[in-house]
Structure 1
């Protein structure tokens, strides 16, 4: 009898697999090879039977655990903690009246613990004195380039002409350029945007 989470299983066969991923590329002679090997998570396979009068409910619960990615524990001949179900397959035949044959694949999930501890609201925490180490140094502000657009006035051009060409209101053109409507100088540089 074995248990996966809170579900009892009759397991006949258990297997485990441990792998690493190694580089396919050349490694410089004398260089540490450990930088070119990545540990893969351990995987487990179990096969046997799920037997009970409500075996369909147990099967549905296992599928739900798999789909939610629920971290659980397997206890049988071997013990696998912090595992998720990655695959479930079942066989139904006439020799088993109150259950089904089942194969399940499990993968160990690496769970890390944080170094940070949440302070309780009652305790008074002491902080390290603030230092300038690691702070950004002030950067000298460079003058921003103006996004203003200018137009050189030609003979016969008026604020109305500039309004039609650039879409800036006549009132705004007057406030930027300070020329009377009848005395816009030819060759003058008028701000239009």
Structure 2
């Protein structure tokens, strides 16, 4: 009595193929040169009988084995020896007059190995927090009223010197103040802007 993934089957014959490949390269003199050995996958061929007490459980057994084969499910086989990482490569069965509730079957199990990804998945990019777009249009800038700027006059200063210091026109500075341009008193506060 053997098992495939826990499913009991009657196996009459187990045949194991454990081959290697010896690649050889021709040389000028002598026999070909073999420089390494490549192991081939283990191939296990089994044959026997699938027997169940009634037709319903027999059909369930056939369905489970066919599903394992078509979905490519990994198989652990427990017979004379235990094998892991196998897949069903071929599964066939036939009926004859000697078996009432069952079939003769043959199956080929082949060792498989899956490659691991050679890259690392990075976390998803986070988006920078951005304010929602406004559809209001272009906003006009509002000019704030500037408080009048005053300046204390020092000896020798003219309206021109004061205007240069504050970046305004000297005519505007003269217009805002009552003093004539040649007679600005020293120490007086005058309006600049």
Q: Partner of 2:26: helix, strand, or coil?
A: coil
TM-score norm. by structure 2 comes to 0.52
Measured in 2, the distance between the counterparts of 1:70 and 1:43 equals 16
1:100 shift after superposition: 0.6
1:82 shift after superposition: 1.0
Measured in 1, the distance between the counterparts of 2:13 and 2:28 equals 43
2:7 matched residue in structure 1: 7
TM-score norm. by structure 1 comes to 0.52
2:35 matched residue in structure 1: 33
1:138 matched residue in structure 2: none
The answer to which of 88-97 and 21-30 deviates more is: 21-30
Q: Deviations over 1:131-173 (max 9, x none)?
A: xxxxxxxxxxxxxxxxxxxxxxxxxxxxxxxxxxxxxxxxxxx
Contact 2:94 2:105 in 1 (8 A): yes
Q: Deviations over 1:92-150 (max 9, x none)?
A: 0121111111111001123577999xxxxxxxxxxxxxxxxxxxxxxxxxxxxxxxxxx
List structure 1 segments (4+ residues) > 4 angstroms apart after TM superposition: 27-32, 111-116
1:31 shift after superposition: 7.0
1:57 shift after superposition: 1.5
- Structure 2 unaligned blocks of 5 or more: 120-193
Contact 1:90 1:100 in 2 (8 A): yes
Measured in 2, the distance between the counterparts of 1:2 and 1:60 equals 18
How many residues are aligned here?
A: 116
Contact 2:24 2:35 in 1 (8 A): no
Measured in 2, the distance between the counterparts of 1:39 and 1:63 equals 29
Q: Partner of 1:41: helix, strand, or coil?
A: coil
